[in-house]
Amino acid sequence: MLFRRLVLPATLAAALAFPAFSQDGVQEQFNRGVALLKQGKDAEALAAFQAVLAADPSHEAAYELWKATDHQIWLELLAKQGQFELAARRLMTLAEAGRAQRRDDAAAIGALLKDVGNEDVAVRRPALAKLAAEHGEYAVPHMLGALSADSNDDRAVLYINALAQMGEDVVQPLIAALESDNASLRRNVALALGYAGDRRAAPLLSWLAANDAAGGVQGAAREGLARMGGAVDPVAGLVALGDAYHDGSALKPYATTGSVWNWRGGKLVHAQVPVALHGDELAKQCYYKALAISGGDVRALAGLARALSAQHARLDALAARGEDVSAFKPQVDMALGALQALGPAALDSALGASLAQGDEAAAVQLIRALGRAGAGAAPSLQTALQSQNGGLRSHAALAIAHSTLSSRSALVEGTVPALGEAASRQVMRIAVLVDGNEARAAALGGLLAKRGVHVASFNSGAMALAGARRMPGVDVVLLANELPDMTSAQVLDELRESHQAPVLLLSADENAGAAFGDRIAGVVSKDDDLSKLDAAFAGSMNRDREEAQQLALASCQALAELAARGQVLGPAAADLVDALNGRTDDVTVAALAALGNGGGL
């Protein structure tokens, strides 16, 4: 049995069966966990902390909890490692967002900076610790004045050292400040970044070291690069960093907050974007900078196309969830609509990279853009046409067909069969399985495959988040209650940023899902019991069927037009006949038109 049952004392079994509770009960439940921990009842304590997370506390509630809890308690939870550390880090991450407005407190920052600039280390050290913990990145704009003066006063030196010790939270605004026209500021920021040692600054420091008009800035950039491992090619480095932001590897889960900094009008400007867009927003900054330096590097253009395509797909997912995306969608849609302006070469390169990395959501948008650009002969489109993914094959065939029809060029071999396949394809169900228990995951994956379900399996939360957000049309998520790197509550929260699929919790304890309330669709407590899948599939399949109908209609219409121009449709004939059954009237009419046009049938 892969779901191994533990024989628990009655008191422990009762402790694990927490009911869902309100936000007002977050502090009480957390305190209960702390009390149990102090009594040496680790299992009960962990269950209490996990129940707090499962209840989906608001950022404000998490922040109030963080403030009300002694710092030593947090240290003890972190020191215990394992699931205790994961729970503590997740609550601290939630608290970060809850205190964002309070962190941007000019008066409080100013008071602390007076002490940070004090020569007495006994005054300076606690002030710096508080500044970093309570204000972090928001302190940076208030420190730039001292770094902009054309002098080497003691306060500038103390601020440089302070910024170097404030952690990765301040790296993004410091990198943005490198665009300042003030040479003294660029020099001091370069020094601070060098002492901080964060390699994300290496591409721009490398460019400054070779190209800045001020010798002092060049020297500071070279000094900083020496401390962090040496220079890189600026354009290649920016593209690589953009790619890392896009695929999620450059941002740790607790750093994915939606916080973005830019240099505009001679000052730092902060913006908050949806968390689902955060990585790609930072990626776009890198690609834009690479383009500015290079004058049109095709790798940067390709990266920009992928980032915009991914943001478009994620905004659609957020909108389907009922969230207001009106502040972001118009500009992303406009940029996406202008993808053709990047040119076929950039689009082809972007699609090739997306296909290689399995980034399906971005690939679909890029396929459509290549079709609109009339680039039916693009090598990446032909690669997509041979993909193992039926949806990508169908979209590629449509793009090639539309390009062929508009340009009256020769049709790429394999297009007609792929269009026929799209016309008759039935919807495939897709499941995401997130479980660090390899034996259980293999058994569940096998059972799902026997039911005709395509399974994407991940053994950690981070891998699941990186992979699942590239997968359109997920029907159900099976999520283990405990994972090696993240809490199940955190994975659930972040998955909801890009998918609306129902979630089933994998746990030997049937009561484990109680604290999650209606955030999950149920608990799978036995490895051979998948009865809850049917209900979970029912809701999501309606949307997928609609998408399949639209794809079938477009494919039949394309085949009809190709046949009218003399294209032989023999390879698609059987599929067109199949398309007459179980489809909407408009699909049936289009299929009949294709068959009626002859095409050498």
Pairing relationship of beta strands 453-458 and 429-434 according to DSSP bridges? parallel
Maximum C-alpha span of the chain: 90
Any idea which residue has 């608290």 for tokens?
95
The one-letter amino acid at 467: G
**Contact status, residue 430 vs residue 399, Cβ threshold 8 Å:** no
Nearest to 204 by CA among 212, 213, 196: 212
Tokens standing for residue 490: 């955190």
Q: Which residues form the domain of 436? A: 430-528
CATH number at residue 475: 3.40.50.2300
- The pLDDT assigned to 538 comes to 65
Boundary-marking domain end, from 528, 557, 572: 528
Pairing relationship of beta strands 476-480 and 429-434 according to DSSP bridges? parallel
The answer as to whether 460 is a domain residue is yes
- The pLDDT assigned to 527 comes to 65
The answer as to whether 60 is a domain residue is yes
**Count of positions (residues) in the chain:** 601
- The pLDDT assigned to 146 comes to 92
Task: Give pTM, 2 decimals.
Answer: 0.67
- Residue 297's Cβ-side half-sphere holds a number of Cα atoms within 13 Å equal to 21
Any idea which residue has 């330096």 for tokens?
293
What SS3 string covers 274-308?
CHHHHHHHHHHHHHHHHHHHHCCCHHHHHHHHHHH
Tokens standing for residue 213: 């008009």
DSSP string, 392-458: HHHHHHHHHHHHHHHHT-PPPTTHHHHHHHHHHPPPPEEEEEE-S-HHHHHHHHHHHHHTTEEEEEE
User: Dihedral of CA 432/333/399/342: which sign?
Assistant: negative
**Contact status, residue 440 vs residue 527, Cβ threshold 8 Å:** yes
Total number of domains constituting the chain: 2
Q: Average pLDDT of each block of 10 consecutive residues along the chain (601 residues)? A: 34 37 69 88 88 81 77 78 84 69 81 92 91 89 90 83 91 96 96 95 97 96 95 96 90 76 95 89 95 88 85 79 81 78 85 85 85 89 91 92 88 91 78 90 86 84 76 81 84 75 86 82 77 69 67 92 89 87 81 78 51
The answer as to whether 480 is a domain residue is yes
Boundary-marking domain end, from 72, 98, 124: 98
- The pLDDT assigned to 254 comes to 57
Cα–Cα distances (Å) from 262 to 178, 205, 241, 428, 490, in that order, read 10, 17, 17, 43, 28
The answer as to whether 135 is a domain residue is no
The answer as to whether 550 is a domain residue is no
Boundary-marking domain end, from 475, 496, 528: 528
- The pLDDT assigned to 7 comes to 35
- The pLDDT assigned to 297 comes to 86
The answer as to whether 312 is a domain residue is no
The answer as to whether 288 is a domain residue is no
The answer as to whether 71 is a domain residue is yes
